[in-house]
Chains A and B, each alone.
Chain A
Amino acid sequence: MRINLASVLVDDQEKALRFYTEVLGFAEKTNVPLGEHRWITVVSPQDPDGTQLVLEPDEHPAVKPFKKALVADGIPFTSFAVDDVRAEYERLRGLGVRFTQEPADMGPVTTAVLDDTCGNLIQIARQTGG
């Protein structure tokens, strides 16, 4: 068994695709109609055959209150690995991205938390030790 997909629940698939590709820098892997929505996945250009991130509609009524509660407490829905958290923070800030947590050393990891504009907070992290 292996993990080939992970999802983020987004409020608007087209907006999400723009943010996850043009701002975060992922590459579109799949984009096909599926029912009333689309099946959209992105991958890291550094790992094009790796785990795909599904940009999934957040339509279910339970999702919005869940997302809202996480955002209010600053809790990221998921985390992506970067080589340099501070450099990535500066780059994304330059593109107008809102951070709810500036880069901070948290023991063996350095982390920062950003708003994906689709109703989620996302952590970027680099493992620095142990």
Chain B
Amino acid sequence: MHNVLCVGDVFKALADPTRRAILDELADRNGQTLFEICSRLAAKHGLGSSRQAISQHLDVLEAAGLVEASREGRYKFHYINTAPLEPIVERWLKKTGKDDGGRVGTGAGTRREEST
């Protein structure tokens, strides 16, 4: 039951484009202050969200386990955590890989994914 709820939270968290952009930026450089995240969203994604709005997005990502906030001295940094995405891979992608491992269709699909 707990797992099911978690996966639901993960999908809900990923459903928002601003939250996906936050994860993109944390994947680019892990361990960012709120200020750096806000700066990147404004400068690189043209997002005009307020600091409070970004902070709330981070809360949603944290609740889903996709972001971890850690206090280091007087500073607070945010880190991406991809562990909650693993059940998704286990559930569909790995199973598909095992069954259709050597087939042409799967390979072509994989290449297409990589090129986007």
A and B bind: yes
Closest to A71 in B: B74
Complexed CA–CA distance, A104 and B36 (Å): 9
A13 within 8 A of B: no
Q: Please tell me if the beta carbons of B35 and A75 are within 8 angstroms of each other in the complex.
A: yes
Give the chain B neighbours of A108 by CB distance below 8 A: 43
* In-complex Cβ contact of A74 among B29, B42, B75 (8 A): B75
Residues of chain B lying within 8 A (CB to CB) of residue A104:
29, 36, 39-40
Select A107's contact among B33, B36, B44, beta carbons within 8 Å.
B44
* Best-buried of A71, A76, A104, A105 by chain B (most CB within 10 Å): A104
Does A68 sit within 8 A of B, measured CB to CB?
yes
B43 and A101 contacting across the interface, CB-CB below 8 Å: no
State whether the Cβ of A111 lies closer than 8 Å to any Cβ in chain B. Answer: yes
Asked if B76 CB lies within 8 Å of chain A CBs, one says yes
**B residues near A124, Cβ cutoff 8 Å:** none
Which residue in B32, B33, B39, B51 is a CB contact (below 8 Å) of A106?
B39
Does A90 interact with chain B (Cβ within 8 Å)? no
Chain B residues in 8 Å Cβ range of A75: 33-35
Distance, CA A53 to CA B49, complexed state (A): 32
A74 close to B40 (CB less than 8 A): no
The answer to whether A71 and B75 have CB atoms under 8 Å apart is yes
- If A106-B43, A113-B36 touch, whether A73 touches B29 (CB-CB below 8 Å) is no
> Which residues between 65 and 108 of chain A lie within 8 Å of chain B, taking CB atoms?
68, 71-76, 100-102, 104-108
- Chain A residues proximal to chain B, CB less than 8 Å: 68, 71-76, 100-102, 104-109, 111, 113
| Interface residues in chain B, defined as those with a beta carbon under 8 Å from any beta carbon in chain A | 29, 32-36, 39-40, 42-44, 51, 74-76
Q: Which 9 A-B pairs have the closest CB atoms?
A: A74-B33, A107-B43, A74-B35, A106-B43, A73-B34, A75-B35, A101-B36, A71-B74, A106-B39
- Interchain Cβ contacts under 8 Å between A and B, 15 examples: A74-B35, A75-B33, A75-B35, A100-B33, A100-B35, A100-B36, A101-B35, A101-B36, A104-B29, A104-B39, A105-B43, A106-B39, A106-B42, A106-B43, A107-B44
